[in-house]
Structure 1
Amino acid sequence: MAIEAVIFDWAGTVIDYGSRAPLLAFKRTFADYGVAVPEAAIRQDMGLDKLTHINKLLADPAVADHFATQYHHAPDAALAAELFARFKATLLKILPETAALKPGMSELIAFLTANHIPYGTTSGYDADMLATLLPLVQAHGYAPQVNITSEQTQGVGRPEPAMNQLAMQRLGVHDPARVLIVGDTVNDVLAAQNAGANAVGIIEGANLLALSASDWAALAEDQRQALRQKVRSTYANAGADVIVNSAYDLLELIKRECDLEAV
């Protein structure tokens, strides 16, 4: 298959091993209001735009009851906007600490660049968040040709295909079936499917794996294998077309598909 383009998610996929930045920002934001949101509850909706994600969390009965009791009214749009503003301010402080490229990404990007395969991104982050990230990653050779947020698609984010469709349009894609869309959440997989592209789930460092690099390194190999299989099953059940352990494996897959050698 001649690959026309690759579209990446950000946290947990290209940077931020374990997708820690949004997790920490959500936890700290809700903690400021006296709510301890479980990590699993936060991670289950990763990949959505962040205001939608906040509204999902506010719809949780325990969270809604807390706000109703403490603030004498049920969560509403004004509260969601207030939480989003606080979340964004917190996240912008955290992002520089978690912007390192994941293992294998430098080699993958070098290959795409050398072989003139365009690549771009979609994100649950907004333009201000990406403006913080882009100079940091560009210093390490990661320079996506397009970066699409839901602000550019009239607020329509994942799992709808709008962001991927716009990214493909701007990358000059003619056949979505020749595009790889790489992510680390179920919402990434669904958005890729809905765009008619190949959904690629990456395991190590993913939101679905939910482990930092140090936690992953501390595990015995049999534990890692069990967790890989668990995440693999989640991707497969969501309909992923391709599932890889890491960016290194994705690089080898792209070489085989394109019948190319590293330059």
Structure 2
Amino acid sequence: MTNNTSPIQAVIFDWAGTIVDFGSFAPTSIFVEAFKQGFDFDVSLTEAREPMGISKWHHIQAVGRIPSVKARWAAQFGREMTTEDIDIIYAAFMPLQKAKVADHAAPILNAVEVVEELRAKGIKIGSCSGYPREVMDVLIPVAADYGYKPDYIVASDDLTHGARPAPYMALKNVIELGVTNVNHCVKVDDSKPGIEEGHNAGMWTVALLLSGNEAGLTFEQFQSADEETLNTAREQAREKLIASKPHYLIDTIADLPQVIAEIEQRIAAGERP
């Protein structure tokens, strides 16, 4: 039953590392495989994680520009990475990603329950992703089988200028969901470009520290970790995410309800993001 009591009109979620795929392993592990398959070139999981949050073609380009990767590429091939090289790696990435993304579609912690709590308050559920549409077309039905069905979904290549940190994917959600005030929306993400996207769209922003790319923990590692390990991972993620100035930093989506309650109070008091 919907009660429509919240001043928040929509919450727009990222996908990997936010709602599904604890630790955001589906995209990062595939980047490592794609470089290996395309050019027999090795990148580390840490290097593959560094530009997370942007569209996948641009992600490959950004990995190639990391100084350590750039130096190894020049040493191995005697030249800088070209757009044609990126195209080849991206072509290797796409089938690998489509084959593996469904394996990482399980919701994070209380994601489905939190989403349904928001929906019960009359809040619309938007979503956008750095994944292109052909990957999302594989992920969406599997996530739906797990119980996650957002009201609207934007993929990175749905729009001409969709790339984060530009606000267009978030604003496409605003348009399609019939939102009348972007200041009454919340963007939830585990990456710096995703939080900047929310700021650029005029929304409240919530960054996730432990379920996403920056901590890089598997769910099993998260469950078994002692407090010292979690604090180390938390600070590692905070150091990267704080540059995007999120309004709130929380561990996982399970902690979102208390933040939503605070944002509701701030909106009711006349505050803007």
Alignment counterpart, residue 127 of structure 1, candidates 116, 133, 149? 133
Q: Name the CA shift for 1:246/1:61 in 2 (closer, same or farther; >3 Å).
A: closer
Give TM-score scaled by structure 2 length: 0.87
Per mean C-alpha deviation after superposition, the further-off stretch among 177-186 and 220-229 is: 220-229
CA contact (8 A) 2:214 2:236 kept: no
After superposition, where does 1:167-182 map in structure 2 within 5 Å? 167-182=173-188
Q: In the TM superposition, what is the alpha-carbon distance from 1:69 to its structure 2 partner?
A: 5.6
The amino acid across from 1:8 in the alignment is F
Q: Once the 2 structures are TM-superposed, how far is the Cα of residue 252 of structure 1 from its aligned partner?
A: 3.0
CA distance in 2, matches of 1:236, 1:28: 30
Q: Which residue of structure 2 lines up, in the alignment, with residue 9 of structure 1?
A: 14
Given that 1:2 and 1:257 are in contact with CA atoms closer than 8 Å, whether structure 2 keeps it comes out as no
On the 8 A contact 1:35/1:63 being kept in 2, the answer is no
What corresponds to 1:97 in structure 2? 103
Quote the Cα distance in structure 1 between the aligned partners of 2:41 and 2:156.
Answer: 28
Task: Indicate the residue corresponding to 1:110 in structure 2.
Answer: 116
Q: Which residue of 1 aligns with 2:163?
A: 157
Alignment TM-score, normalising by the size of structure 1 = 0.90
Task: Give the number of equivalent residue pairs.
Answer: 259
Q: Is the 8 A contact 1:149 1:157 kept in 2?
A: no
In structure 2, C-alpha distance between the alignment counterparts of 1:250 and 1:130, rounded to whole Å: 24
The CA distance in 1 between the partners of 2:70 and 2:252, in whole Å, is: 38
How many angstroms does 1:167 deviate by? 1.3
Q: Is the 8 A contact 2:111 2:254 kept in 1?
A: yes
Worse-matched range after superposition: 190-199 or 52-61:
52-61
Question: For the aligned residues, what is the CA RMSD?
Answer: 2.0
More moved, 147-156 vs 207-216: 147-156
What whole-Å deviation, never above 9, does each CA across 1:49-90 have from its counterpart, x for those lacking one? 000011112233554455556556542222211111110111
Counterpart Cα distance in 1 of 2:237 and 2:72: 32
Tell me how far apart the structure 2 counterparts of residues 101 and 240 of structure 1 sit (CA, whole Å).
23
Distance 2:208 2:69 in 1: 31
Structure 1 residue aligned with 2:56, among 25, 28, 50? 50
> Do structure 1's residue 18 and structure 2's residue 32 form an aligned pair?
no
**Contact 1:120 1:145 (C-alpha < 8 Å) held by counterparts:** yes
- 1:188: which partner in 2? 194
Distance 1:164 1:181 in 2: 8
- Per the alignment, residue 213 of structure 1 pairs with 219
**Separation in structure 1 between the aligned mates of residue 19 and residue 193 of structure 2, nearest angstrom:** 16
Q: Counterparts of 1:140 and 1:214 in 2: how far apart (Å)?
A: 19
Question: For residues 89-116 of structure 1, what are the alpha-carbon distances to aligned partners after superposition, in whole Å with 9 as ceiling and x for unaligned?
Answer: 1111111111100001021111122222
Q: Deviations over 1:130-160 (max 9, x none)?
A: 1001111111221112111232220431111
Runs of 4+ in 1 over 4 A off after TM superposition: 64-73, 255-259
- Please say if residues 183 and 201 of structure 1, whose CA atoms lie closer than 8 Å, have aligned partners that are also in contact: yes
Change in 2 beyond 3 A, CA 1:82/1:248: same
CA contact (8 A) 1:183 1:202 kept: yes
The runs of 5 or more residues in structure 1 that have no matched partner are none
Contact kept? 2:215, 2:237, Cα under 8 Å: yes
The alpha-carbon deviation at position 217 of structure 1 amounts to: 2.4
* Match for residue 232 of structure 2 among 204, 226, 234: 226
Tell me the secondary structure at the aligned position of residue 181 of structure 1.
strand
| Change in CA separation of 1:209 and 1:67 when aligned onto 2, cut-off 3 Å | closer
Cα distance in 2 between the residues matched to 1:20 and 1:7: 21
Q: How far apart are the structure 2 equivalents of 1:84 and 1:10?
A: 20
Q: Does 1:31 align with 2:31?
A: no
1:221 deviation in Å? 1.6
- Share of identical aligned residues, percent? 26
- CA change 1:190–1:256 in 2 (3 A) is closer
SS of the aligned residue for 1:158 comes to: coil
Provide Cα deviations, 1:181-202, integer angstroms capped at 9, x if missing partner: 0000111111111111111101
